[in-house]
Chains A and B, each alone.
Chain A
Amino acid sequence: MIEFKDVSTIYDNDESIEILNGVNLHIKDGEFVSIIGPAGAGKSTLLRLLTREISPHRGEVILDGVNLAEVPSKAIPLLRRKIGTVYQDFKLLSAKTAFENVAFAMEVCGADRGEIESDVPKILGIVGLGDKLKSFPHQLSGGEKQRLAIARALIHRPRIILADEPTGNLDLVNSYDVVKLLMKINELGTTVILATHNREVVNAIGKRVISIEKGKIVRDQVENGKYVI
């Protein structure tokens, strides 16, 4: 369970510039939540609070009953292993193959070779890249790159997936593929939080939609949401 209690964040220690302003939010386990809003509304900030890349200036971000501000810095890597992240720019290593990109996420967490050899092909198979193990990112299409990024996010079997504009660099067909993949992951029980400015994507999903503008939640449509102005 994720809870935001009166969360505010400021820009660069300047209290006059608030990015999020008194955000209250409750997300249940296994939910699929789309956060929609224009650029600069505070969508990415909201996600970064969950991975403890930043801490709130005021209020509390609570994950499974734990106030994230109180998580000691040593335990932050463990927190991040519970949360998979996907970004618009994929954040793939260009000098590594698809297999190596996913394996890298396991290596840096101390997995042994045997685990890597067995888990990576499986996860790449799940996202539909079973035949692209040896391909480098530049040999993959935009949609494939994003699926590879999703595979990497899934490798630690996270309970939450945070997707920050995952379709931002993709055409409509590939966007739809990625959204379908995220929905499939959600059906298997993983909480998915998708931040986007793309209304078509949100409407295609048809799940809970939270609209955010100038750092404030302006709308929270819980079921079968369609974003209509």
Chain B
Amino acid sequence: MENFQETAKRVFNVGWTNFKRNTYLSMGTTGVMILVLFLFSGLMSLNYLASQIVSGLEEKVDVSVYFKNDASEEEINKVKSDLELLGTVKKVEYVSKDQALNEFKERHAGDTLIQDSLAELDDNPLQASLNVKADDSSQYASIVTFLEGNKFRSLVDKINFYENEQVIKRVLAISGGLRNWGFLLTMVLALIAVLVTFNTVRLTIYSQKQEIEIMRLVGGSNWHIKAPYLVEGGMYGALAAGIVAVIFYPAIFFISPKVESLMPGVSLISYFVSNIFQFVPLIFFIGILLGVTSSFVAIRRFLKI
């Protein structure tokens, strides 16, 4: 007598009817779900922006090794070769005293005071240097250690890489804090969404007390009696996810140029468009999971077969 197709059809039909029957309650429940999913989407955007800022800053970090004036070009090149042999080093660039002076003059071409001061000097006051780029920002400390222990240590005047590192640490701390607080807020809202859905399903169960009683008496299986409520809960989540997906993309489309003007090269819209097949199913998964979980708890609590 059992027919799976008929059963599935009935379960979905009843779930859908329950969903439609309590219009205002369904709207409220879906509204809270929408808030949760929006917050989650915002958190994802924030994550992306933070990672872009950090990787941008990491690109700018390098170690500059300044040599004393008595260091010869040959000796500096030996240090360069030693550095290039390190597996953690990506690139080493030699900047001679003259090159450094030229670059300095170019940089301050419009500043007559600096130009005049330089003209008054007999010698080139700038130092030859090596700019070292590492594969990963975490490896700079070991490169600095290597330089300090190198046989040419006496030629080195100073090693400088700490400025950007501080900035990265601050950005990481801020984005980490935002992520944690955002996550906490999302969890609180998710809990509220679960409670609201739980109550909605509970009211549906209560309003269908007689139907449930009859189903039990005529031998309706647990699946037949309980599944429509799971479907109902899932529908709140699915509808909320659908609405979030429809609103979120146009919103990102408008926000993205503004973000890009602040952070050139960072495009929110292209990130979310290129990840649309991961993002949208994820939102649906979270929404449906929240709804079904709430219904499941309500059924366990209020629907005894």
Contact residues of A between 73 and 117, Cβ < 8 Å to B: 73-74, 76-82, 85, 91, 93, 104-105, 107-113, 115
Given A108-B225, A109-B1, A110-B6, A80-B216 contact (CB < 8 Å):
yes
Question: Does residue B215 face the partner (Cβ distance < 8 Å to A)?
Answer: yes
**Contact across chains for B210 and A111 when beta carbons are under 8 A apart:** no
Question: Does residue B214 face the partner (Cβ distance < 8 Å to A)?
Answer: yes
**Contact across chains for A109 and B305 when beta carbons are under 8 A apart:** no
**Contact across chains for B215 and A108 when beta carbons are under 8 A apart:** yes
Scan B282-295; emit 1 where CB is below 8 A from any A CB, else 0. 00000000000000
Q: Which of A93, A104, A108, A112 has the most CB of B within 10 A?
A: A108
Given A91-B213, A93-B211, A93-B214, A77-B1 contact (CB < 8 Å):
no
Chain A residues within an 8 Å CB radius of B221: 77, 108-110
Give 29 A-B contacts (CB < 8 Å), ordered by A residue: A51-B217, A76-B305, A77-B220, A77-B221, A80-B218, A81-B219, A82-B219, A85-B217, A91-B213, A93-B210, A93-B214, A107-B6, A107-B10, A107-B224, A108-B215, A108-B219, A108-B224, A108-B225, A109-B1, A109-B2, A109-B218, A109-B219, A111-B3, A111-B6, A112-B3, A112-B6, A113-B6, A115-B1, A155-B218
Footprint of B on A, CB under 8 Å?
Answer: 51, 73-74, 76-82, 85, 91, 93, 104-105, 107-113, 115, 152-153, 155-156
Given A74-B222, A80-B219, A81-B219, A105-B214 contact (CB < 8 Å):
yes
**Contact across chains for B1 and A78 when beta carbons are under 8 A apart:** no
Chain B residues within an 8 Å CB radius of A51: 217
A54 to chain B, nearest CB (A): 12
Complex Cα spacing A38 to B55, Å: 84
Question: Does residue B139 face the partner (Cβ distance < 8 Å to A)?
Answer: no
Contact residues of B between 91 and 132, Cβ < 8 Å to A: none
Identity of the chain B residue whose Cβ is nearest the Cβ of A87 in the assembled complex:
B217
Grouping DSSP codes into helix (H, G, I), strand (E, B) and loop, the A interface class, with mixed when no group exceeds half, is helix
Chain B residues within an 8 Å CB radius of A110: 1-4, 6-7, 221, 224
Chain A residues within an 8 Å CB radius of B214: 91, 93, 104-105
Complex Cα spacing A168 to B302, Å: 30
Taking A112-B6, A113-B6 as known contacts, 15 extra A-B pairs with beta carbons closer than 8 A to each other, sorted by chain A number, are A77-B219, A77-B221, A80-B216, A80-B219, A93-B210, A104-B214, A105-B214, A107-B224, A108-B219, A108-B220, A109-B219, A110-B1, A110-B7, A112-B5, A156-B219
Chain A residues within an 8 Å CB radius of B220: 77, 108-109
Partner of B218 from A73, A81, A112, A113 at Cβ < 8 Å: A81
Complex Cα spacing A104 to B221, Å: 13
Chain A residues within an 8 Å CB radius of B5: 112
Chain A residues within an 8 Å CB radius of B6: 107, 110-113
Chain B residues within an 8 Å CB radius of A76: 305
Chain A residues within an 8 Å CB radius of B210: 91, 93
Complex Cα spacing A108 to B10, Å: 8
Complex Cα spacing A77 to B217, Å: 8
A216 to chain B, nearest CB (A): 27
**Contact across chains for A108 and B218 when beta carbons are under 8 A apart:** yes
Given A76-B305, A93-B210, A93-B211, A109-B224 contact (CB < 8 Å):
yes
Chain A residues within an 8 Å CB radius of B3: 110-112
Contact residues of B between 201 and 237, Cβ < 8 Å to A: 210-211, 213-222, 224-225
